[in-house]
Amino acid sequence: MTQNIVATRPATAGPATRWWREAVIYQVYVRSFADADGDGVGDLPGIRSRLPYLADLGVDALWITPFYVSPMADFGYDVADYRDVDPLFGTLDDARALVDDAHLHGLRVIVDVVPNHTSDRHPWFRAALAAAPGSPERARYVFRDGRGADGGLPPNDWESVFGGPAWTRAADGQWYLHLFAPEQPDLNWENPEVHAEFADILRFWLDLGVDGFRIDVAHGMVKAPGLPDVGHADQIEMLGTAVLPYFDQDGVHEIHRAWRELLDSYPGERIGVAEAWAPSPERLARYTRPDELHQAFNFHYLGAPWEPGRLRQIIEESLRTAGLVGAPSTWVLSNHDVKRHVTRYGGGETGLRRARAAALVMLALPGSAYVYQGEELGLPEVLDLPEEFQRDPQRGRGEDAGRDGCRVPLPWSGEAPPFGFGEGGSWLPQPEGWRDLTVEAQDADPGSTLNLYREALRIRREHPALGDGELRWLDGPSGTLAFARERDGRAVGCAVNMGDRPVRLTVGGPVLHSSGTVYRDGDTLELPSDTAVWWELS
């Protein structure tokens, strides 16, 4: 294996020691992580009870999905009160205790903020419906008169992400915009009152001690001027999520610059993370310019096929575009909105082998990585949920569009459901076959996926070459992807075999970690199909 093939050098903005530049952040989908009160739904005390698990796993921070007061039309992403906890998940005191306890365990806490829309039960929207057209109450949202002789047609041809028109008619005949469910009316970010309200919401949670925010629909708050029809403009589909032509308006960046200034006014490097669906890596990079947000989710990487040429192209493009603005790239394989990658990579034994290998590749790349709860257990997508449990509003886009299967509660222990999730069952049923995937079952098995992640995170944390920094491509056999990471006089090689037969590599130093069994004879390593390896480069 030769070296010095290609150099990819992302620029840096300020000291490379900033925690968010190389953090591994664990996503907690609150409903499905751990249930402390026995009602079958995960909650904040449940998360708190499992903080030792997360600290032992070796992650740096946890991102918690919305736990605010909500009627749950979209499982918490329809917020009725941004400054309180829904009783389903606990209390405000539970939130304080969770943040404080996480800090004692050396974990930072990132929470969701949902600024594109509120719940239709939010006091502002109730006041808007009760007020007259043209009133200050309606000016907080996007209300418009309809088209046609009697105003009976929607104001434009926009469609909801969840399917169907993006407009619903109020009782007095006006229409309101909702880019998601009708229960999620869009806010009007041309209104200064909306800006002031969300600045105060951010301060509320920063004062409580959170370390940052994941910004839901960060690309959507500002609407196209004049709300024009889009006609037959193409939609870009990324992992089943539509990047609609009226998203990613330039005006959103003024909001993010104001929020960055607010975050920087607090100690401890509080961060903002954009959930931004953009049509290109160049457009995505705009969200992480030095005076905007710290990170943006790299959905282009999440959607990469299991093919070395395309994967390398996406990695290079991600590093190049992030480097142009001085930001770290981020890497993610799964989240609560897409099918789990064990299933996307083929399912069964093949999908699991590839998922394990993909984990080592992701954790060796420069920048920050996100781990979705349960991927460290090798959980697959649950594809056969009974219809009565399939309640995701995104199913309105099509029978296979629902996200329920990636949100099934975690299996912690035992031989039968609910596998230690809680005493009252689980809000989505767990497969009986998960008995072999519980934390308890995997804990003592050195070859388990759980221990693969634990060891990878330990090496990443302790080895100076991993985390933030540079990447250098290495030459390798057909069907492989290989690169080196170097820093402070130390170097790590990473190679993955994506082909259908074993390959032989020349490695000089000791093997540090591998996703499956590898065979070594002197300086020659046999790497099986769908397997990744880390080794010390001499």
Find the catalytic residue in 74, 78, 86, 216: 216
d(CA 426, CA 35): 8
Average pLDDT along the chain? 92
- Position 389 scores a pLDDT of 75
- Position 384 scores a pLDDT of 84
Per DSSP bridges, beta strands 167-169 and 175-177 are antiparallel
Below-70 pLDDT ranges, the chain: 1-17, 232-244, 392-402
Q: What is the CA radius of gyration of the chain?
A: 23
Query: 203-221: per-residue pLDDT in tens?
Result: 999 999 999 999 999 999 9
- The sign of the CA dihedral 56, 60, 65, 69 is positive
> Catalytic: 275?
yes
Name the helix (H) or strand (E) containing 484.
Answer: strand 480-487
d(CA 242, CA 225): 20
Per DSSP bridges, beta strands 241-243 and 212-215 are unpaired
CB crowding 83-119: b at 16 or more within 10 Å, else e: eebbebbbeeebbeebbebbeeeebbbbbbbbbbbbb
Query: 322-375: per-residue pLDDT in tens?
Result: 999 999 999 999 999 899 999 999 999 999 999 999 999 999 999 999 999 999
- Position 163 scores a pLDDT of 85
Q: What is the rounded end-to-end Cα distance, in angstroms, of the chain?
A: 13
- Position 538 scores a pLDDT of 79
Name the helix (H) or strand (E) containing 350.
Answer: helix 348-364
Q: Which segments of 177-251 does DSSP mark as H helices, in order?
A: 192-208
- The sign of the CA dihedral 151, 155, 158, 163 is negative
CB crowding 207-233: b at 16 or more within 10 Å, else e: eebbbbbbbbbbbbbbbeeeeeeeeee
Find the catalytic residue in 275, 376, 392, 470: 275
- Position 519 scores a pLDDT of 93
What is this structure's pTM? Answer: 0.93
- Position 68 scores a pLDDT of 98
- Position 382 scores a pLDDT of 93
> Catalytic: 190?
no
- Position 427 scores a pLDDT of 94
